[in-house]
Structure formats: C-alpha cells, structure tokens
Chain A
Amino acid sequence: EDQVTQSPEALRLQEGESSSLNCSYTVSGLRGLFWYRQDPGKGPEFLFTLYSAGEEKEKERLKATLTKKESFLHITAPKPEDSATYLCAGLSGGSYIPTFGRGTSLIVHP
C-alpha cells in the first residue's frame, strides 16, 4: 500500500529563519511527487511536480528536492506570507490516484 508521511505536523519559524519540510514516501514505481500550498479555507494550490530522484525545482523562496525515499521542501528566508499548510502527494505507476500526506502547517512570525 502506498504511503506518504509528512513531518513535522507543525512548524513555527521566525521571519528569515530557513528550514525544510519533509515528505517520506513508500510509493511503488513513482510517477510523480507533488507539493501543494493550502491557505486556510481554500483549495490546494499547485507548487511543484518532481519525477525522478535528484530532480530539483524552485519558485521564489521555495525549493523542492527528491530522493528515492523522500522529498524536501526547503524554505529560504521565509516571510509571514509563506504561512500555510504544505501538502505532499505521491502517484504510483499503477494508479490514477495520488496518495496525500496529512500536511505540515507552517507559521512564520514577523
């Protein structure tokens, strides 16, 4: 059974304090690893899709990386507006349906 585990569940940072969110996955024949940002009361907003180990993608202060067992979302010098829940999901080779993690709730204090 495919599994995606995100850690930590919650993270509090000071503005400018860089950190990383972890997404560990057990997905057979990974076809894609996805990161979304979700603001309270809103739908998830697509950030990145990673396809193979070693791949990296960047957007503003966010950088996503992928290994054979986990993905990291690195946040460099975060700002309060980066506060959100970040969701990770993995899609296996034999499925139409991604497996989602429970998310990491990030709060960045000014």
Chain B
Amino acid sequence: DVKVTQSSRYLVKRTGEKVFLECVQDMDHENMFWYRQDPGLGLRLIYFSYDVKMKEKGDIPEGYSVSREKKERFSLILESASTNQTSMYLCASRVLGRETQYFGPGTRLLVL
C-alpha cells in the first residue's frame, strides 16, 4: 500500500525562524514533490526532485529550499519564515515513468 508521511500535521513558528518540513515515502519512488495549497489558489508547486540529489524549481520557489540526500526523504526548508508562508504544505511522490502522484497527509503551518 502506498505510504507518504510528513513529519508534522500542525506547526506554529515565529517570523524569521528556519523551518524544516520532512516527507518520507516507503515505495522506492524516484520523483518527489512539494506543493503549497491556499484557498482560492489551489495547489502550487514549490520544488520537485527527479531522484536523489536532484532538484528543480517549481512555480513558487522563492523563500524555500529543498534537500534530497536519500531516495525516501525529501525536505522542504523555509530559510526565514514569513507570515505569507502560512499555508498547507503537501508532499507527493511518484514512480519514475509512471503518471500518478501519491500525496502525504499535509502539514498546516502557521507563521506568527
């Protein structure tokens, strides 16, 4: 069964803090993705990774970075959190060459 987990369901941080969001999949998927989801804006891609140590910017990478040191783990880093980064963050993964993405449960981040 498909399993994507995210390190936290809810997170509250202060402006300026460095924030780490972690995503782990146990399906040996090559591709991993980070999205944010906001009311009225839908899902927007932040970064994605084709495979270990590979990353590509998505539509809204500003203020974010990522790390993929191991195949199963894809981390999203907010270098200096700001209030406009308050959002629902969703991780997804996919087998290379297949089309369907599988999502994690999401992390709802509040930046005060």
Interface residues in B2-32 by Cβ distance below 8 A to A read 2, 4, 6, 31
Given contacts A44-B90, A96-B31, A97-B58, contact A31 B45 (CB under 8 A): no
Interface range on chain A (Cβ under 8 Å from partner): 20 to 34
Chain B contacts of A103 at CB under 8 A? 42
Chain B proximity of A37: nearest CB distance (Å): 11
- A45 with B103: CB separation less than 8 A: yes
Chain A contacts of B62 at CB under 8 A? none
- B50 with A96: CB separation less than 8 A: yes
Interface range on chain B (Cβ under 8 Å from partner): 20 to 34
- B102 with A100: CB separation less than 8 A: no
- A100 with B43: CB separation less than 8 A: yes
Given contacts A44-B90, A96-B50, A97-B45, contact A31 B99 (CB under 8 A): yes
Chain B contacts of A45 at CB under 8 A? 103
Question: How distant is the Cα of A61 from the Cα of B55 in the complex, in angstroms?
Answer: 39
Question: How distant is the Cα of A91 from the Cα of B31 in the complex, in angstroms?
Answer: 15
Question: How distant is the Cα of A44 from the Cα of B102 in the complex, in angstroms?
Answer: 8
Chain B contacts of A32 at CB under 8 A? 99-100
Task: Say whether A42 faces chain B, with CB atoms less than 8 Å apart.
Answer: yes
Chain B proximity of A65: nearest CB distance (Å): 18
Task: Say whether A34 faces chain B, with CB atoms less than 8 Å apart.
Answer: yes
The DSSP consensus for interface residues of chain A is loop
Interface residues in B27-48 by Cβ distance below 8 A to A read 31, 33, 40, 42-43, 45, 48
Residue of B nearest to A44 (CB): B103
Q: Which of A31, A42, A51, A102 contacts B106 (CB 8 A)?
A: A42
- A43 with B106: CB separation less than 8 A: yes
Question: How distant is the Cα of A43 from the Cα of B102 in the complex, in angstroms?
Answer: 9
6 contacts between A and B (CB under 8 A): A32-B99, A43-B4, A43-B6, A43-B104, A45-B103, A103-B42
Interface residues of B (CB under 8 A from A): 2, 4, 6, 31, 33, 40, 42-43, 45, 48, 50, 58, 88, 90-91, 99-106, 108
